[in-house]
Amino acid sequence: LGARVVARAWTDPAFRARLLANGTPACEELGIDMGPTKLVVVENTADTHNMIVCTLCSCYPRMLLGLPPDWYKGRAYRARAVREPRQVLKEFGFDLPDKFNLRVHDSTADMRYMVLPARPAGTEGWSEEQLAVIVTRDCMIGVAAPKVQ
């Protein structure tokens, strides 16, 4: 469901603004039940990249991203994502240029984060359905970027 949310944000500037202002009601507009969870959506831009972690356990927006991957729940990721996030990204095959500010967001029991990845060049004119296909769970955690095939 998160890929649908991202695709809508990429194609609808008003929705994108609502999503960034308060993710929970924006997702509910699309019929996604967020329950009591507060969703904070952080946007990747031309100079900032965001990454999500939960250092205490594995708080994760399951309603949007499905089950968390094992690595997200692991102690190594939870600790290293905060201490050495650029190295962690490299291990995922994502070499973030030094020009980017890297922000790591720590989820809590009451608040979850989701990354709104930057829309890739070459996707102009694509439908929401086409765009949703290139948005992966890892993109919305911030350990990958959408790729145009």
Active-site annotation holds for 54: yes
Tokens 């699309």 sit on residue: 30
Q: Which of 27, 54, 107, 139 is catalytic?
A: 54
DSSP readout, 33-101? Answer: --TT-EEEEEE--SSEEEEEE-SSS----HHHH-SPPHHHHSHHHHHHHHH-HHHHHHHTT----TTSE
DSSP, res 121: T
Active-site annotation holds for 27: no
Active-site annotation holds for 127: no
Q: Which of 27, 59, 107, 139 is catalytic?
A: 59
Q: Which of 57, 107, 127, 139 is catalytic?
A: 57
Q: Hey, which residues are catalytic here? A: 54, 57-59
